[in-house]
Amino acid sequence: MNILKLSNLFVLGLLYSYGSSAGHLYCGKNRDVPTTSPSASIPTTSPSASIPPTSPPASIPPTSPAPIPSTSPAPIPPTSPAPIPPSSPAPLPQPTNNCGDFYTEFSSNEDLGNFNVEYCPQNVRVNNGLEMMVSQSCGITISYKKKFTRGKIETFMKMAPNSGVVSAFILTGNEPSDEIDIEWVGKDVFTFQSMYFVKGQRIVYDPGFHPSPNQSTANLSENFHKYGIEVTDTFVKWYIDDILVRTLEKTSDATFPSETNTIKFGVWDGSSVGIWAGYVDWSVPVLPAYMKWIRITNYC
């Protein structure tokens, strides 16, 4: 053992001596750093000790925005232009009540079957309506075959234009007759006249004068208009184009035309009352009056 100790001391001495001659090899901090023994193992984390995984946070459900209701504008209906009315009103439909009403368009000679042509049948013909002419020999008078008591008579008509020629649409009775008139005198093509008589006597001297309600159709000899007379037990009314232009109220039997049961129309020479109607000049063409249709509405 002594020999071994001596040997170790000897080795240590040699090492010391060598370190002194080697200079600074072991000087400084590295000299004091202990070496790690190979046998000293660093404990490792056992693979069996697993770190439990962290559960991801509970998922937050998506917050979908509430649906926004559609705000589509309501469809705008098309704005079709208003239809332009025809210059001539459409024919009225045939009446269907049980009062014995009547309507006819004058489109053929057969349409005269409900009428009597009392004078000058040669002066009347169907030509785009009922054409009624006056000649030097005679005028024309047409009467409806059935009797009329109370109701409304209407026609779509164009007057004859010549001075002295009178166009007429009237209600009359037995002689001495009551009478309710619409008349046109050819010397005045811009008005029609309303008049009435009781027992053949004039109750008021002057007739009513009534122009067209539309200035564009003011000439009554160039334009068709709708004319009407309405009769009840208490009043008489006159119309043009469905516009009321005159009313006669009953105030007594002596001044009211109550007995007018016959419908008549036609044209005649009024030269005998020329101050009122004018005088016919036979040296120029005398033009006719035209009637497109007639409607009779009886009040039951």
In this predicted model, what pLDDT tens digit does every residue of 211-247 receive, in sequence order?
A: 999 999 999 999 999 999 999 999 999 999 999 999 9
Reply yes or no on whether the pLDDT at 134 is more than 90: yes
Spatial CA neighbour of 132 closest among 193, 210, 190, 184: 184
Which domains are assigned to the chain? 107-298 (2.60.120.200)
**What is the predicted pLDDT for the residue at 252?**
96
Q: Is 264 helix (H, G, I), strand (E, B) or coil?
A: strand
Nearby residues of 179 by Cβ (< 8 Å), 6 or more positions away: 170, 171, 172, 173, 195, 196, 197, 200, 257, 260
**What is the predicted pLDDT for the residue at 7?**
42
Residue 5's φ and ψ, nearest 5 degrees, are: -60, -40
Strand partners, 184: 167
Least confident range of 93-102, 105-114, 116-125, 178-187: 93-102
Which residues are catalytic, by number? 179, 183
Q: Residue 79 — pLDDT band, cuts 50, 70, 90?
A: low
Q: Residue 73 — pLDDT band, cuts 50, 70, 90?
A: low
Tens of pLDDT, residues 13-61: 433 443 444 333 333 333 343 444 433 343 444 434 444 444 444 444 5
State the chain's mean pLDDT as an integer. 79
**What is the predicted pLDDT for the residue at 115?**
97
Tens of pLDDT, residues 154-202: 999 999 999 999 999 999 999 889 999 999 999 999 999 999 999 999 9
**What is the predicted pLDDT for the residue at 128?**
82
| Whole-structure pTM value | 0.69
- C-alpha 241 chain-centroid distance: 21
- Residues of the chain with pLDDT > 70: what percent? 67
Strand partners, 154: 228, 295
In the chain, the amino acid numbered 111 is D
Spatial CA neighbour of 147 closest among 235, 291, 264: 264
